Structure 1
Amino acid sequence: MNPPSPSATAILLAGGSGTRMGEAIPDKMLLPICGKPVLRYSIEAFASCETVDSIIVVYRDDAQKTSVEPLIPVDAFRRVEWVQGGERRQDSVWSGLSKLSSDCDVVLIHDGARPFIDPETIDTVAKASRGSGAACVARKVTDTIKQAKSSESGYTLKTISRSNLWAMETPQGFQMPVIVEGYRSTIESGLLVTDDLSAIEATNLPVSLIEIDAPNPKLTTPRDVLLFEFLFNRRSEG
């Protein structure tokens, strides 16, 4: 008999300020890409998963929540929760974690600004995180990376070996007690983290890295829009 699939809760981060998008784009989560709001792509991917049965949407303000609510197919989830985010990403994640139900098994944390994620990858992360405690979509660093030290005449450079370097993406998945305790310790210690795995690094817990071939970029600046439309058009063409 096959083991049961993990029943996961997704925390979808939609409340970022998006300051690098500029004043012309007040909310990148609602920016239409190929006729569909950016956030809707992630919502549809999680709604189509075998493993995700609940979702917690972390929103920025009441106006954004009103715009996002119609995007959620409530019949696709056993439970839908809403919570307002905080000033920093880690504050928003902590707000999302506070809404987890006591029977939660696996937690998947995803940046809504990464619309290229697919249901199969989400399921893979959920199952891997149940087995190892933590899992993440990631990609190997292929560029030459240098450490640059500023001086009056320029920079002195030092090449960093890329053999063990990975760029972290989302979703990042965890057994519920692992990530809750990790973030509790992070918040209490006053540490600043920019991704969720950083909150558990002190535990030295081995992490499953899920490498995927398909692009999974994050919408950050206005110049990303044309790239995203190009990538979505290519995906729709097969």
Structure 2
Amino acid sequence: MSTTAIIVAAGNSSRMGFHKLTADLLGKPVLRWTIEAFDACPSVDALLIVVGDATREMVLDWAELGIFKKPITLSEGGVQRYLSVYEGLKRLSEDTDIVAVHDGARPLITTEQITRCIERARACKAAVCARPMTETLKRADVHGVISGDIDREHAWVMETPQVFDKALLSLAYEHVVKDGLLVTDEVSAVQLLNEPIHVVDNPLPNLKVTYPSDLELAARLLRSAKTKQPES
């Protein structure tokens, strides 16, 4: 089954103060780390990068330099994230069976976890990288005063990649766009079809770079991962 990874890299980084995907992370832009993880994954056959004004030329330069081994297609981003994915879906090869959608701002994803998510989606059509909620959760009122508890049992934090049968995900987004709905991720879109989606537990950090402090944390985690790698 042919798998294409859609890497979403068209956001404007409004909460960051500067463009997070072009920010330096141990000598490489954040987005470069992300793309390289999928390029190195044996379960991925092709890459489709959804770009914006800040990332378009950078990705084009990398492609022209022949840095990546897998075929790369560029797609223009939409006003919202879900519209960016929708545009990317329309540019997929007809040979694509499985689609893995990933945030360009999650540079710590491993090839092993990507493979686990893809294998699960090949078996059940819909799988999402996630981690179980372990923190204590409280609900607060409009004044910021704690008003109650939130049960964390069976609660999961959604991450990416979110991996689906192409026909299923395309149908979900056609429904979203046709009805003018707003969804924040692919899971939300596919849920509207009442299709079962399976979580794939991710045992390793997979943070989304959102604030400047996240870059420092990502750098520490990458250094730690490198020191733990066995010598060849």
1:209 alignment counterpart: 199
The residue type paired with residue 194 of structure 2 is N
1:3 alignment counterpart: none
Does the Cα contact within 8 Å between 1:13 and 1:93 map onto a contact in 2? yes
The Cα offsets for residues 108-153 of structure 1, whole Å up to 9 and x where unpaired, read as 00001000011111111111111111011100111111222225xx
Does the Cα contact within 8 Å between 2:24 and 2:30 map onto a contact in 1? yes
**Aligned-CA RMSD value:** 1.5
1:137 alignment counterpart: 129
Percent identical:
38
Structure 2 Cα separation of the partners of residues 74 and 179 of structure 1:
30
5 Å matches for 1:42-81?
A: 42-61=34-53, 64-72=55-63, 73=66, 76-77=69-70, 79-81=71-73
Q: TM-score, normalised by structure 2?
A: 0.92
Equivalent in 125, 141, 166 of residue 176 of structure 1: 166
Structure 1 Cα separation of the partners of residues 175 and 182 of structure 2:
11
Equivalent in 62, 79, 84 of residue 87 of structure 1: 79
Equivalent in 4, 12, 15 of residue 7 of structure 2: 12
Does the Cα contact within 8 Å between 1:129 and 1:175 map onto a contact in 2? yes
- Displacement after TM superposition at 1:87 (Å): 1.0
Q: TM-score, normalised by structure 1?
A: 0.90
1:224 aligns with 2:214: yes
Does the Cα contact within 8 Å between 1:106 and 1:176 map onto a contact in 2? yes
1:127 aligns with 2:122: no
Secondary structure at 2:15's aligned position in 1? helix
Does the Cα contact within 8 Å between 1:150 and 1:156 map onto a contact in 2? no
- Displacement after TM superposition at 1:214 (Å): 1.0
Does the Cα contact within 8 Å between 1:133 and 1:205 map onto a contact in 2? no
1:28 aligns with 2:23: no
Structure 2 Cα separation of the partners of residues 82 and 15 of structure 1:
11
Stretches of structure 1 that go unaligned for 5 or more consecutive residues are 1-5
- Displacement after TM superposition at 1:156 (Å): 5.0
2:106 alignment counterpart: 114
Stretches of structure 2 that go unaligned for 5 or more consecutive residues are none
The residue type paired with residue 49 of structure 2 is V
- Displacement after TM superposition at 1:75 (Å): 5.6
